Chain A
Amino acid sequence: MGGYKVNMSTLDRFEIHEHDVLVIGAGGAGLRAAIEASANGVSVGLVCKSLLGKAHTVMAEGGIAAAVGNVDKQDNWQTHFKDTMKGGKFLNNYRMAQLHAQEAPERVLELERWGALFDRTSEGTILQRPFGGHSYKRLCHVGDRTGLEMIRTLQDKGVHMGINVYMECTITRLLKEDGKISGAFGYWRETGRFVIFKAKAIILATGGVGKAYKVTSNSWEYTADGQLLAYDAGAELIDTEFIQFHPTGMIWPPGVIGILVTEAVRGEGGILRNKDGYRFMEKYDPERMELSTRDVVARSIYIENKEGRGSPHGGAFLDISHKGAEYIKKKLPSMYHQFKELADVDITTGPMEVGPTCHYSMGGVKVDADSTATSIPGLYAAGEVAGGMHGANRLGGNSLSDLLVFGRRAGLYAAEYAKKNKATLNINEDEIANAEKSIVVFFEQDGGENPYTVHRDLQELMQNKVGIFRVEDDLKFAINELKSLKERAAKVKIEGSRMYNPGWHMAYDLQSMVIYSEAIAKCALQRKESRGAHSRLDYPNTDPEHGKWNSLVKKANDGSLIVEKSPLPEMPGELKQLLEDKKVAAKI
């Protein structure tokens, strides 16, 4: 593209790429955004931290929630909206929940038109299964590997659209000029060399923060990169205290702790029991039982253990064997193999042992519902990195649909923005010098610790003090501890070269995780109630007064992290009515 002016004299030692729109992150949201931007006629670069097609979306199992009404004909967007708001304990951005429910069906059908092959109903349409918190059978799925189907479909669509894919590249800083986005700075994993992307608009689609916890289903990539890129650039974060613990992760043997056991097991009829064989969900949510929302099920398993009725390794038994071997192998093939190969358990004949695992971050970068724009001109965010859509707790299946709906919107609005902004992009050399220094410094700090040691301590702290159940003393303790972890993290020492050096990558990621952890803990302290995924032992009830605001996180001028309350946007009358209307939905 013409029109760019770079001062080559000082920057010519860098590799520089130019795009109208740069998408950071290549999971479902990033890929969908890149496809949309490209379809709107702008040049698109797509940066991924891993190889293409390996992003976290690949691990999503159970399905995509969309009210296509193939199985339960009475389903519609209104019910999906209502379920989502209820699941999120009404802290959701209503407009996001509305757009999501309205547009998810079209996004799923579009995937099919691009080659995805969902399981079928007897009429030949897309099959849907029940899931926690959804009033109807709503999850379009492919056995228990829906995420793989989705990412492969988007990947194959994307590579034929002329999108430039930059694999194994990590962005460490966003560049701005006159307060507007002008590009990004990062390094290649392979060589450790730096690279500059000049871009008019940037879309963050980097996923979550699960690696801050010890027991997690999340991969090495989930280190709050995007949240911190935005925060450092001056954008706001919201609702960071809401971290979802998926009720069913593997808990035995030790090597597999945290690996996800899809909610589809319960969707297909799986039953939870404690060590006495009692179906304990009868006690905690007699109506919805195992298909209660994730926050409730996770807490129930936790309480059963606290009171001495847990399974041998500190969880619960999940049993699907009554469905018969053939059915299980057809509908839950990867679960069958996962347990057979990793735990020597045959789930067609006996129960699996499961317990909560850190899974998803409801909070994230604050965005405009329609456009996904952040408060920084030219910066957009979609998918798990963005906050608001899921409120205090996300329903299973609403993530994949979120990625598609808001990924598309991000691509669309970023492309429009880029087209309108013909301004010359200049890169500020001081900014580049700073960015460079802040990541090479780890090689030079003699006497510093191994980054993995600091990471382990961070994970212990977050798991134990800012986990499923929280209490003021623990949170205060954690906030204090995080100060010293931040200092330790800043001083870590890296051995070896810059070539493909995971220790070095961890050193950088650690900085983001520590600061985001502070945001989680501070917002958790501020919210003196229990709501959705945030459970305070000292404030066990949900307080309507606290339901009127979202937590807001900002970087103060002196660099410190501050948290505030921000009033919820006023919901229009017709949506309010919908929530009150007893006729809409509501089997559950």
Chain B
Amino acid sequence: MNKEESQSQISSGDKKVRIATFKVYRGDREKGNEVEYKVPVEEGMVVLDAIHYIQKNISPDLAVRWNCKAAKCGSCSAEVNGKPRLMCKTRLDDFDINEEIKVYPMKSFPIIKDLACDVSWNYEVNKKITPFTPKENTTWKMNQRDIDRVQEFRKCIECFACQNVCHVIREHDLKPKFAGPRFFVRVAGLEMHPLDDVDRLEALKDDMGIGFCNITKCCTEVCPEDIHITDNAIIPLKERVVDRYYDPVRMFFRKIFKKK
């Protein structure tokens, strides 16, 4: 079915169906353009519903990732009117329906096709992080208040929206040298785990390039899980790195009074 047909079908409907205009990026790594689609609006509709409508009724080959449709898996990240969002959580009510809604793939990663982009780099970064390594002879008792902070970090659904907006990646493309906010969150979750016994500060400084972060907080603003990426993860980690490598006296005391 082509676009014209779908439009006429919509207007032939009896009741007053509101129609939204979507401009969706269609194309691959080499070439692409914006394609216009008309989508009937239902109450409570989210952007992902509109994309699915297009897939089912107009262009079955429109590439998009999704799984949960409930903001739990982090698959459906895209840039809606220039802002990184989870499409399954972005309601059409948030927009003026008389104006067109633009849906583009995340900009900081290479496009595969349409809205799907190549996020494999993130998986490579993750592999290099030293995994959880428990202290010896632990009884596995932990206080809830000691793990509240870490549980915040473990809420991350790997939507990579924070990676996408961080200027160190987006504008400066320092990918090989800079791990990005998602992985600072991950390292923070390990470093602050009450029973973890590994030290990742050197890796943070050298391999993960935490020094490149200048605390613009753009990452925190887009996190759909409301993780306080900068305040709770990056800044405390930066402090630890500074203590260790640039302030030997404080480091000495920290060592005496335990790392965590």
Q: Mark A439-459, 1 if CB is under 8 A from B, else 0.
A: 000000000001111001000
Of B7-15, B125-133, B237-245, the one touching chain A: B125-133
What chain A residues lie within 8 Å of B147 (beta carbons)?
117, 120
User: Is B60 touching A495 in the complex (CB atoms < 8 A)?
Assistant: yes
Of B112-120, B164-172, B208-216, B228-236, the one touching chain A: B112-120
What chain A residues lie within 8 Å of B206 (beta carbons)?
none
Distance of A461 Cα from B63 Cα, bound (Å): 27
Distance of A253 Cα from B74 Cα, bound (Å): 22
Name B44's contact: one of A51, A160, A342, A496 (CB within 8 Å): A342
Name B126's contact: one of A156, A256, A495 (CB within 8 Å): A156
Distance of A497 Cα from B26 Cα, bound (Å): 13
Distance of A11 Cα from B196 Cα, bound (Å): 48
Chain B, residue nearest A160 (CB): B131
Cβ of B138 to closest chain A Cβ, rounded Å = 9
Interface residues of A in 147-205 (CB under 8 A from B): 148-149, 152, 156-157, 159-160, 165, 167, 190
What chain A residues lie within 8 Å of B190 (beta carbons)?
115
Of B17-25, B65-73, B95-103, B246-254, the one touching chain A: B65-73
Name A145's contact: one of B72, B119, B143 (CB within 8 Å): B72
What chain B residues lie within 8 Å of A338 (beta carbons)?
70-71
A56 within 8 A of B: yes
Distance of A56 Cα from B66 Cα, bound (Å): 11
What chain B residues lie within 8 Å of A142 (beta carbons)?
151, 154
Interface residues of A in 420-456 (CB under 8 A from B): 450-453, 456
Q: How many pairs, one residue from A and one from B, have CB atoms within 8 Å of each other in the complex?
A: 169
What chain A residues lie within 8 Å of B42 (beta carbons)?
253-255
Of A403-411, A473-481, A502-510, the one touching chain B: A502-510
Interface residues of B in 20-75 (CB under 8 A from A): 28, 42-46, 49, 55-57, 59-75
A123 within 8 A of B: yes
Cβ of A126 to closest chain B Cβ, rounded Å = 9
User: Is A497 touching B123 in the complex (CB atoms < 8 A)?
Assistant: no
Main secondary structure of the interface of B (DSSP, over half): loop
Name B127's contact: one of A159, A220, A260, A453 (CB within 8 Å): A159
User: Is A252 touching B44 in the complex (CB atoms < 8 A)?
Assistant: yes
Chain B, residue nearest A507 (CB): B60
User: Is A502 touching B64 in the complex (CB atoms < 8 A)?
Assistant: yes
Given the known inter-chain contacts A157-B131, A451-B60, A495-B61, please indicate yes or no for A148 contacting B46, CB distance below 8 A.
no
Number of interface residues of B (CB under 8 A): 58
Cβ of B143 to closest chain A Cβ, rounded Å = 6
A89 within 8 A of B: no
Number of interface residues of A (CB under 8 A): 66
Q: Mark A493-534, 1 if CB is under 8 A from B, else 0.
A: 011110111111010000000000000000000000000000
B137 within 8 A of A: no
Cβ of A193 to closest chain B Cβ, rounded Å = 13
What chain B residues lie within 8 Å of A500 (beta carbons)?
63, 112-114, 116
Chain B, residue nearest A120 (CB): B144
Chain A, residue nearest B44 (CB): A253
Distance of A84 Cα from B197 Cα, bound (Å): 39
Chain A, residue nearest B140 (CB): A112
Distance of A480 Cα from B168 Cα, bound (Å): 59
A278 within 8 A of B: no
Distance of A112 Cα from B193 Cα, bound (Å): 11
Cβ of A278 to closest chain B Cβ, rounded Å = 27
Chain A, residue nearest B50 (CB): A255
User: Is B67 touching A502 in the complex (CB atoms < 8 A)?
Assistant: no
Distance of A529 Cα from B151 Cα, bound (Å): 46
A113 within 8 A of B: yes
Name A341's contact: one of B71, B131, B142, B158 (CB within 8 Å): B71
Given the known inter-chain contacts A58-B68, A253-B43, please indicate yes or no for A149 contacting B154, CB distance below 8 A.
yes
What chain A residues lie within 8 Å of B75 (beta carbons)?
50-51, 54
What chain B residues lie within 8 Å of A506 (beta carbons)?
60
User: Is A190 touching B112 in the complex (CB atoms < 8 A)?
Assistant: yes
Most B Cβ at <10 Å: residue of A109, A127, A148: A148
Chain A, residue nearest B141 (CB): A124
Name A342's contact: one of B55, B68, B91, B132 (CB within 8 Å): B91
User: Is B134 touching A113 in the complex (CB atoms < 8 A)?
Assistant: yes
Name B61's contact: one of A145, A156, A260, A504 (CB within 8 Å): A504
Distance of A415 Cα from B249 Cα, bound (Å): 53
Q: Mark B155-176, 1 if CB is under 8 A from A, else 0.
A: 1111000000000000000000
B89 within 8 A of A: yes
A358 within 8 A of B: no
User: Is A219 touching B71 in the complex (CB atoms < 8 A)?
Assistant: no
Distance of A152 Cα from B151 Cα, bound (Å): 12
User: Is A342 touching B141 in the complex (CB atoms < 8 A)?
Assistant: no
User: Is B63 touching A259 in the complex (CB atoms < 8 A)?
Assistant: no
Given the known inter-chain contacts A113-B134, A117-B147, A343-B44, please indicate yes or no for A255 contacting B49, CB distance below 8 A.
yes
Chain A, residue nearest B69 (CB): A259
What chain B residues lie within 8 Å of A72 (beta carbons)?
none
Given the known inter-chain contacts A115-B190, A124-B141, A500-B113, please indicate yes or no for A59 contacting B60, CB distance below 8 A.
no
User: Is A337 touching B74 in the complex (CB atoms < 8 A)?
Assistant: no
A125 within 8 A of B: yes
Cβ of A504 to closest chain B Cβ, rounded Å = 7
A53 within 8 A of B: yes
Name B68's contact: one of A59, A115, A255, A499 (CB within 8 Å): A59
User: Is B143 touching A220 in the complex (CB atoms < 8 A)?
Assistant: no
Given the known inter-chain contacts A149-B154, A152-B154, A260-B70, please indicate yes or no for A452 contacting B45, CB distance below 8 A.
no
Name A51's contact: one of B65, B114, B143 (CB within 8 Å): B65
Cβ of A244 to closest chain B Cβ, rounded Å = 18
Given the known inter-chain contacts A145-B72, A253-B43, A254-B42, please indicate yes or no for A503 contacting B61, CB distance below 8 A.
yes
Distance of A119 Cα from B49 Cα, bound (Å): 34
What chain B residues lie within 8 Å of A113 (beta carbons)?
134, 140
A334 within 8 A of B: yes
B150 within 8 A of A: yes
Distance of A450 Cα from B59 Cα, bound (Å): 10
Distance of A343 Cα from B72 Cα, bound (Å): 16
A221 within 8 A of B: yes
Distance of A235 Cα from B74 Cα, bound (Å): 35
Cβ of A214 to closest chain B Cβ, rounded Å = 13
Cβ of B60 to closest chain A Cβ, rounded Å = 3
Cβ of A164 to closest chain B Cβ, rounded Å = 12
A52 within 8 A of B: yes
Chain A, residue nearest B194 (CB): A117
Chain B, residue nearest A250 (CB): B70
What chain A residues lie within 8 Å of B56 (beta carbons)?
450, 452-453, 456
List 22 contacting pairs A-B, 8 Å CB cutoff, sorted by A: A53-B73, A54-B68, A55-B67, A56-B67, A58-B68, A58-B73, A59-B72, A117-B147, A119-B144, A120-B142, A120-B143, A149-B154, A152-B154, A160-B131, A167-B123, A255-B42, A255-B46, A341-B89, A450-B1, A497-B61, A502-B60, A503-B60
Q: 11 other contacts beyond A165-B123, A342-B46, A500-B112, with CB at 8 A cut-off? A: A50-B75, A52-B123, A113-B140, A117-B142, A117-B193, A120-B143, A255-B46, A256-B70, A456-B56, A496-B60, A499-B112
Q: Which residues of B contact A (CB under 8 A)?
A: 1, 28, 42-46, 49, 55-57, 59-75, 89, 91, 112-114, 116, 119-120, 123, 126-127, 131-132, 134, 140-144, 147, 150-151, 154-158, 190, 193, 196
A-B pairs, 10 with minimum CB distance? A253-B44, A503-B60, A115-B132, A496-B61, A124-B141, A500-B63, A452-B56, A500-B113, A219-B67, A120-B144
